[in-house]
Every structure is written in structure tokens, then in C-alpha cells.
Chain A
Amino acid sequence: MINKVVKDADTAIKDIQNGQTIMLGGFGLCGIPENCIQALLRKKVTDLTCISNNAGVDDFGIGLLLQQRQVKKMISSYVGENAEFERQLLSGELEVELIPQGTLATRCMAAGYGMPVIYTPAGVGTEVAIGKETRVFNRKEYLMEYAFDAEFAIVKAWKGDTAGNLIYKSTARNFNPVMAMAGKITIAEVEILVPAGELDPDQIHTPGIYVHRIFQGGNYEKRIEQRTVRIK
């Protein structure tokens, strides 16, 4: 079996260059590649184009890369409660392409499935449609959207094996499987790394063919954005 294991996050991201396009998995702060984001902060690589549903919060996740001005452009669906992201967007310091969440996911999927475009009704009649080719199928209008083209995809999984097979946990799955499929080089950080053969092949979410580098992460903070509870 091909061994995909690298030593750590710094090794995994060492050849990411200024100006490259990277995908980062996660929804909000859930299922984000915390170790690789820290390594990118240490490497101080700049002018990145980041494809990620959100941009973290001001002081965690991709928000930290924004603070260090390492990001030239964000491609996301939701700014939400990230004040620094919204400020850089409104002031024009940061280039931002906001796209519908399903379009974001499906453009990743298309890349991983080897399909150049998708057609989606999301955004028809809105400013998202400006300059885009449209087609009518069964009397409904669709936008043509291109598959993403990213040099790197960085994802976080719960368990992985040395062959690069990945299993995600709960809703930390989100964008990770489709981004894992979409990167020219895919880097996976996992909470638990096991030898090939220990994971049940029937339970694999991302087959190792899509994963080029895998390492055991550590010190996961897993910060919660909205802690909502009920009383017993």
C-alpha cells in the first residue's frame, strides 16, 4: 500500500507558495484543519486565494490568516459574524467572491468528479449571475459554473490511515470530503492515524487516492461558535 504519511503540518504545507489557491475544509469553526492553519501562519505565505465556506472568526481559524494579511482573495458563501472579514471586504482591502453555498460545494464536487462545469439554478436573476452563461432546461434557467481549480486542498478528518483513507465525524464532515476530492494536492490532518488495514473499507468516506499527504494532528481546540444548551 502506498504510504501517504508526512511528519507534521509544517512538512505537509511546506511547498505552498505565495499567490497559490488553497481550499480549506470546515463549516464555521467545525471541522477546520487547525494544525495546517497554524503552520500557514508560521510559514507566513502570502497572497493566497482561499476557497472556504467561511473565514473563521476574528481570532480563530482562517480569521487569523486574514489578520496577518496572508490572504489576497476569499471565495466563500458566508461572512456572518466575522467582523474583520466584513471590515476588509467593505473597505476593499480584501478581494471577496461570495457565491452560493451549494454552488461552492458542487464546484468542488465537479473538480473531484472530473467534470468541467455544473448547471445550477442558484443565483439566477441575482448579481451572482452577472457575466455567466445560462441555459434553459425543462423551462427552468440555470447558471453554468466552473469546477474549481485549486493547487492545494487542506482537510480535517477524524480518522485516517497510512494509505490516506479518511473517515469524518458528525457534522465536521461538511465540505471536507468534496474539497479532499478537488485539490491537485490534498493534505489531510486527522485526530487519529492508524495503519492501513485497521479501517473497515466499507466505512471509508474519502478513498486514499484523493489524499496525497496525511498526518496525525494534535492540540485540537475545536472552538464552539454558538454554545446552545438546554437545562436538564
Chain B
Amino acid sequence: MLDKNGIAKRIAKEVKDGMYVNLGIGIPTLVANYIPEGINVVLQSENGLLGMGPFPFEGEEDADLINAGKQTITTLAGSSIFDSAMSFGMIRAQKVDLTILGAMEVSENGDIANWKIPGKMVKGMGGAMDLVASAQNIIVAMQHVNKAGESKLLPNCTLPLTGVHCVKKIVTELAVLAVLENGGFQLLERAPGVSVAEIQAATAGKLLIEGDIPEMQL
């Protein structure tokens, strides 16, 4: 079973040289720490920055320079800054190659819910609805089950949707799964030490298991 950093590390392998990538708040932000040497990617932060750098050294924080998670960050050689309309313009125009975000639920046809639990919790959709509606490639980073132990991979989402038919891949502490075009989660990889039966038990939606399922290489 993986911890949060393990999930981020596995997702980092999906990031290819030359990509422009948007990382959501939470586990996706950690992906930046595991992008391999020699892979050049540009991180987009939807508050208006391309080329997000690491956190500043202590004492060098700039209140005017933050990422979409409101964390203090730095720029890099080649960074650029722009306004919010242009930021979502480049997202809508599919200039951003890969979006990695968290979720509360994902359905077997690729619907995603991640912004609201009616009557209990409202975070707001932020930029997530724009990102999932336009991105060509969306990877969800999340825990396989919620705090109550219920599966977050469902036949249908029960929470208000963020987007429909958009998630392509999911990485959890247990597994890597692809969302099939015609519906269903195809099991691609198991986390180290996790059995197919454990993944099956934690997945409420339709799970497709073909042949031997390899263990993740981290």
C-alpha cells in the first residue's frame, strides 16, 4: 500500500518530457517532487503562472508570488505570468497537456466529483470544472476508499459532479486503473504488497481484470 508520496511518485512516471502540466491541490502538488531528472516539464498554476519553481528559501517568500494552493513559490528561468482569463484560455484551448487532480468520487464512466458534499462541506470548484471540461488527459490522485471505508470508485457518483466522462486514469494507494471508453475500471497495476482481491473489495464500480496484474515499479 502506498502513502501520499508513493501515489505522487507513481503519477510522476506519467509525466513526459515537453509536457505542460497543471497540478491540483493536495497529492497532485507532491508530484512535482518526483519528476525524474532529464524530464523537462512546465508546471502551470491557474492563478496565472507558467514555470512554477520550488518553494522559496526561508526569508525570501514573496506575498505576490503564490500558486493556486496559495503557497509561496518561486519562478524559474523561462517562467511567464498572465491574468486569470488567459490562464483559463490556455486550459480551454488545450495547450495544457496533462491535468492531475484529487477527487472525492470517480465513476466507472469517468465522471468526477470533488467540490461539494451537500449540507456538510463546500469547497467550491475553483478551476477544476474548467480543467476537467477541457483537458485531453486527466489523472486522478486519490485514496481508494473514504474515511468511512466506502469505495470512491463507483458505478455512479453520488456527490455533485465536477465533470462528466473525463477521467482517463486513477492512481490510488492500492492500484493504477484506466477508465475505459465504454465504462469500467481496468486494473493496470497493483501497489506493492496489495492483492487483486483487496483492490476488488475496495472497488464498488465495475472492475476489469485481465491476466496477471503487475506490481507498480516506483
Name A residues whose Cβ lies closer than 8 Å to a Cβ of B. 27-31, 53, 76-80, 86, 89-90, 96, 98-106, 108-109, 120-128, 158, 169-178, 205, 222-232
CB-CB contacts of B62-77 with A at 8 A, as 1s and 0s? 1111111111110000
B148 close to chain A: CB less than 8 A: no
- Report B-chain residues with C-beta under 8 Å of the C-beta of A104: 84
Taking a contact as CB atoms under 8 Å apart, the answer to whether B84 and A174 are in contact is yes
Residue of chain A at shortest CB distance from B54 = A230
Knowing A126-B162, A229-B57, A232-B58, say if A224 contacts B127 (CB, 8 Å). no
B126 close to chain A: CB less than 8 A: yes
Q: How far is the CA of A105 from the CA of B129 in the complex (A)?
A: 13
Shortest distance between the CB of B161 and any CB in chain A (Å): 4
Taking a contact as CB atoms under 8 Å apart, the answer to whether A105 and B87 are in contact is yes
- Report B-chain residues with C-beta under 8 Å of the C-beta of A125: 111, 161, 163-165
Taking a contact as CB atoms under 8 Å apart, the answer to whether B124 and A79 are in contact is yes
Taking a contact as CB atoms under 8 Å apart, the answer to whether A171 and B124 are in contact is no
List 15 extra interface pairs beyond A122-B129, A170-B81, A225-B66, CB under 8 A: A29-B70, A79-B122, A100-B129, A102-B46, A104-B84, A121-B133, A121-B134, A124-B133, A127-B160, A171-B64, A228-B72, A229-B57, A229-B58, A229-B60, A231-B57
- Report B-chain residues with C-beta under 8 Å of the C-beta of A31: 64
Q: List 19 A-B contacts (CB under 8 A).
A: A28-B47, A28-B66, A28-B70, A78-B125, A104-B84, A105-B84, A121-B92, A121-B133, A124-B163, A125-B111, A169-B64, A172-B63, A173-B81, A174-B47, A178-B83, A226-B66, A226-B70, A229-B60, A230-B57
Q: How far is the CA of A102 from the CA of B87 in the complex (A)?
A: 8
Taking a contact as CB atoms under 8 Å apart, the answer to whether A102 and B48 are in contact is no
Taking a contact as CB atoms under 8 Å apart, the answer to whether B63 and A176 are in contact is no
Q: Pick from B66, B126, B160: contact of A171, CB below 8 A.
A: B66
Interface size class of B (residues with CB under 8 A): 35 or more
Knowing A27-B66, A126-B164, A224-B72, say if A230 contacts B125 (CB, 8 Å). no
Taking a contact as CB atoms under 8 Å apart, the answer to whether A106 and B85 are in contact is yes
Q: Pick from B127, B162, B163: contact of A102, CB below 8 A.
A: B127
B interface secondary structure, majority: loop
Taking a contact as CB atoms under 8 Å apart, the answer to whether B83 and A105 are in contact is yes
Of A29, A124, A222, A232, most B-chain CB atoms within 10 Å: A124
**Which 8 A-B pairs have CB atoms at the shortest separation, nearest pair first?**
A102-B88, A102-B130, A125-B164, A222-B63, A105-B84, A100-B129, A121-B133, A78-B124
Residue of chain B at shortest CB distance from A143 = B133
Residue of chain A at shortest CB distance from B58 = A229
- Report A-chain residues with C-beta under 8 Å of the C-beta of B123: 78-80
- Report B-chain residues with C-beta under 8 Å of the C-beta of A174: 47-48, 83-84
B61 close to chain A: CB less than 8 A: yes
- Report B-chain residues with C-beta under 8 Å of the C-beta of A225: 66, 70
Taking a contact as CB atoms under 8 Å apart, the answer to whether A101 and B126 are in contact is yes
- Report A-chain residues with C-beta under 8 Å of the C-beta of B83: 105, 173-178, 205
Residue of chain B at shortest CB distance from A230 = B55
Q: How far is the CA of A226 from the CA of B55 in the complex (A)?
A: 11
Taking a contact as CB atoms under 8 Å apart, the answer to whether B55 and A229 are in contact is yes
Q: Pick from A80, A105, A120, A170: contact of B133, CB below 8 A.
A: A120
- Report A-chain residues with C-beta under 8 Å of the C-beta of B81: 170-171, 173
